[in-house]
Amino acid sequence: MKRIKRHTHHVHLVHFALLVGLACGCSVQPDSDQPPKVDARKQEVRSIEQGPIVEPPDPPLTTGNPLAGAALFVDPESLAMLRANALRSEHPDQARLLDRIAQQPMAMWMGGWNSDIYRAVDHYVSRAQADGSVPVMVAYNIPERDCGQYSQGGVASGEEYQRWVRLVRSGIAQRPAVVVLEPDALGMLSECLNEDQQRQRLSLLKDAVKVLRQDPNTTVYLDAGHARWLPAPVMAQRLVQAGIAHAHGFALNVSNYVSTEENLDYGQQLSSLVFDKPFVIDTSRNGRGAYEQATTIEESWCNPPGRKLGHVPTTDTGDDLCQAFLWLKRPGESDGECNGGPVAGAFWLDQALTMASDD
């Protein structure tokens, strides 16, 4: 079967709140000639940005289900929640439909739109910590991201990516968090990269897994496409090269529409080839499964019509290998300028209402 190209992704508008600065942390005595004291975390950020890149040691083996019983963070600043609140007085019916999206835990996407990734992550994780819940985040900033398509971008070099990942880790700061690494990166490995670039991408992913796993409370999943993309043995080989042995598991169906049942079957096949690693499934928009009427690959993944919300996020999936159903792609946020949609990541009210409706 000809595979379905996976998806495009978020280019999130960053909330002004994410740009609020941290306190300076400096104190200078009026009559002292001593240098100012620098906040430890500011010093850590400066070291990451300017110092040598140190290879992390292998993290300990993963055990158990780190998501069991976890309360996942519901973002009161999501685009869906902000739009629902804006409509609540004049269009209460629309607001109630949008609440079906806004009141569910969803992932925050991290990429070049975050002008200060350390502050963005620290702010998001801090809000989740204050709420007593666990934030889910998607790292989407690897060089040559999306092969120049709707969500093209990523940092310019491997070194820049390594520093960026270390800033993400610093922003998390040993607090509970879930990170899904680099949608598309393995699925599109051979589509636009030469052999040297492929080796670099695999090395960068492995480094990112190990860096994030230095914090014992960070749960890491490598993106592994979906059930209709690559044969399980092909994806398994790529996962192994990208460091799946050090990750908690892998993620399926990120931003796509393939049914949960298909991905469960695929996940079990894939798990048997990668050390019996568990997985999570993005169920945000797969309530009706893949768009079978598509006549082109793009039609199947870029704002296909008539799609619905899938299973609500939960860490109780009824499957021992599947650790969670997550909403990684935020429903209502466009896949790109296709099928009438706005730019990737922009909130599309009509699509959101359609997905949330019972029709």
The CA-based angle 251-257-258, given to 5 degrees, is 70
Three-class secondary structure of residue 89 per DSSP: coil
| From 116, 223, 282, 335, the catalytic residue | 335
Sequential DSSP letters for 164-184: HHHHHHHHHTTS-EEEEE-TT
Kindly tell me the sign of the dihedral angle through the C-alpha atoms of 327, 331, 333, 339.
positive
Three-class secondary structure of residue 279 per DSSP: strand
Residue 335 falls in the annotated catalytic set? yes
Three-class secondary structure of residue 71 per DSSP: coil
In one-letter notation, the amino acid at residue 328 is L
Residue 320 falls in the annotated catalytic set? no
Residue 146 falls in the annotated catalytic set? yes
| From 75, 122, 184, 282, the catalytic residue | 184
| From 146, 215, 223, 282, the catalytic residue | 146
Element (H, E) at 138: strand 136-139
Provide the 8-state DSSP code for 86. H
Order of strands, sheet of 249-252, starting from the edge strand that comes earlier in the sequence:
108-110, 136-139, 177-181, 218-223, 249-252, 279-282, 322-326
* Residues identified as active-site: 146, 184, 335
